[in-house]
Amino acid sequence: MLSLPQSDHVVRVKMLDTTTYLTGIAKVFVEPVVAGHETFNFNDLAFLIENKRSGKKVMFDLGTRKDYWNLAPAVHRVFGLDGAMTGVKVDKDVAQILVEGEVSLDEIDSCIWSHYHYDHCGDMSPFPPTTSITVGAGFMKAGFLPGYPENPVSPVLASDFENRELIEVNFENGLEIGGFKAHDYFGDGSLYLLDSPGHCAGHISALARTTPSSVEGGASFVFLGGDICRFAGDFRPSPERPLPDPVPEFALARRHAPITCPCSLTRQHPNADDELAGRTTPWYKMASEFPTAYHDIDEARTSVSKMQALDQNDDILVCLAHDAVLLDVMPIFNVSPNEDINGWRERGLKDKCHWGWLSEVPIDGRLAQTPLVEGFWRDGKLWDYMSFKKTLAIPPM
């Protein structure tokens, strides 16, 4: 039985479209790779979180910096025809999106990185020195500091940390939620940071309380997963929350190629042998062979299993950083900066968010969606990234 901590303190959670558009090869993220889904599309989400008691604001993730060509050379291993990511386009930095939504950067107390990867740590340079960086346990010992160029093999930039506080979360306080080691960030039960290892060193998730415990129906939460896994089909469906019969039309609304019979989904499940298993078994497994995106696949599976248990709860909405369906269902800060996502339960949005990933899986090898971006973009147009990459002193793995 899942036991969730009680509190009447909540946070307002607003979802940002970071305007990062990525395409990547499937074998890095899932197995098996199936015809029609050899490439994955990745939008990129960030979250503005405000503690209603104190008024303090923090960011959870920052997307990709607009000038991604200025990332540390070590990061560029993943870009290009010889890397995992075959398309990149970034229209705006998160700092610009915040300012356009009339949020002053001086108001941001800390930028919480779910992890140090380029598509989550963004560009810290516009934020004032009063904005700290919060990272997960193990970051300090991972050999990244000082950042590039002082440390030529580091994937993070030294300039991100210049004249600002770097805080590593201490999870050794005995608090656990859903099997995750937890840290009460504001000290009032409104926001918990969760130790969710596996993807990389220092990976963390967050559990944000969106309604108080004392209201009718009790507390509700959003689980901000970061890159605990990359695709919702890595942990859905499940025995506790099987694929509905019939599959609702809204779950297939984003498909480029419509299907005549939703029942064909279960027959083409890549990890199930019969219809029952197809309704209760996650669509994909996380990639376990090189060049997997998971630093420790066993730890990653354990973290995802814990998240899957939270995902069964009607009072918890799981939000992965790259789950594009959230952009179709939830209020977006870029469009409505005054609107939060706290009312997700009252508006009955969980099911729409829960099954939207079905719009991305192929049937009979037919592409379900067109590529989100093709090639590498700079200043609104394609550019010769591969020639640029050859000029970089990229350290060996």
Q: What's the pLDDT score for residue 287?
A: 98
> Has residue 396 been placed in a domain?
no
State the total domains in the chain.
1
For 329-354, write each residue's pLDDT tens digit: 999 999 999 999 999 999 999 999 99
Q: What's the pLDDT score for residue 275?
A: 83
Residue 275: which residues within 8 A CB-CB, separation 6 or more?
Answer: 266, 267
* Residue 91: count of CB within 10 angstroms of its CB: 14
Q: What's the pLDDT score for residue 263?
A: 63
What average pLDDT score do residues 7-14 get?
99
Per-residue buried b or exposed e for 320-343, using 16+ beta carbons within 10 Å of the residue's own CB: bbbbbbbbebbbbbbeebeebbbe
Report yes or no on whether pTM surpasses 0.95: yes
> Has residue 6 been placed in a domain?
no
Angle (CA) 51 52 55, round 5°: 70
What average pLDDT score do residues 133-148 get?
97
pLDDT at 260 over 60: no
> Has residue 141 been placed in a domain?
yes
For 267-293, write each residue's pLDDT tens digit: 789 998 888 898 999 999 999 999 999
What average pLDDT score do residues 172-196 get?
97
pLDDT at 259 over 70: no
% of the chain at pLDDT higher than 70: 97
What average pLDDT score do residues 69-85 get?
94
CA atoms within 13 A on the CB side of 361: 26
**Token pair 């990745």 in the structure block, residue:** 42
pLDDT at 168 over 60: yes
Find out whether 135 and 202 touch, Cβ atoms under 8 Å. yes
Return the sign of the alpha-carbon dihedral for residues 156, 91, 79, 112: positive
Residue 290: which residues within 8 A CB-CB, separation 6 or more?
Answer: none
Note down the domain range covering 263.
12-391
> Has residue 162 been placed in a domain?
yes
What average pLDDT score do residues 361-385 get?
92
> Has residue 7 been placed in a domain?
no
**What CATH number did the domain enclosing 331 receive?**
3.60.15.10
